[in-house]
Amino acid sequence: MFIDIPRELEAALTDRSLPAWELDGSFLATSTMERYRTDLKVTPRFEETAAALRHALTGEGGGYAVLRLGRLSKVLGTDDDRFLRLATAFAAEVAVPFSPFPRWPLWKDIGVRVDKDPGMSSGIGYNAFHMDLVNASLPPDYTTLLCVRPDPLGGGPSILSDVHAAVARLSEGSRTLLAEAAYDYGTFFDLHGVGEECKPFPILDGSGPGEGFVRFTAKMLERSRLDQAHAAAARELADELVRGQVSFMLQSGDYLIVNQRRFLHGREALHSGQETVPAAGRRLLLQLFLRARAGNGSAA
């Protein structure tokens, strides 16, 4: 699931300057995606690398990938527009980039705040397994995280788990409870491109593995009012996700892409002592969401 950029492709991309992107509403414009593909498909081994990325995300047994752009980021700099456009172009080979948050740019910063709820994405604690925008009728098909700067103190490994494999290990009684519309989590306002609010919603919708979403966030165990039976079923799923998890540390330039129909994601706690690190030097990720093209999941 880790994809290195071939040296000859790196060399070609170092000299490549893609144009600034344009948006069509909250989605990356088709004209921009076509321009990026036209510019990059002639570079050596780009098509091969893009195909490997798609296979890692949608092929049998797949569901996530880490595109290792670290050497490229060192040459261009993670704060260089050329680097971010290249990352966007790779994302557009998978699906259509978009931002569900009108108040944020296409790429959203996820920094570290010591005064934030520790369990949230910008907090310093354990961020339990979840899918992004769990309460939307059309959640993003993919969530992606580009590592600009890892935790300088060495904490915060990413965690991922095959949600369908976890569901398969549950008792029949728990799966029955999880298929009932008894769950809710989060707020829903000022969002684009993700449908309507689902409240309440079932965690399991009856779809086959890799087809529908398993609408789960472990945060609902503490932040939602669930009856004992439904809470126990959700807790069993949370335990199975932890049991099957994989863990790795993102380095600068690593680009994690997660197929939300197959895997859930989270993060271990950052290392203690974050208050001693200047805000500008703490862990920094950039988040981008993707919508599958028509005929390959939910359409934009």
Confidence label for 224 from pLDDT (cuts 50, 70 and 90):
confident
Question: Which residue is listed with tokens 């172009």?
Answer: 89
Distance between terminal CA atoms of the chain? 26
Per-residue pLDDT tens digits for 55-91:
999 999 999 999 999 999 999 998 889 999 999 999 9
**Predicted model pTM:** 0.96
Which tokens in the block code for residue 205?
């919708």
* pLDDT(297) > 60: no
What the chain holds in terms of domains, given with CATH numbers, is 2-291 (3.60.130.10)
23 in helix, strand or coil?
A: strand
pLDDT averaged over every residue in the chain? 94
Tell me the one-letter amino acid at 147: C
The H or E element containing residue 18 is: none
281 in helix, strand or coil?
A: helix
In whole angstroms, what is the distance from residue 213 CA to residue 224 CA?
20
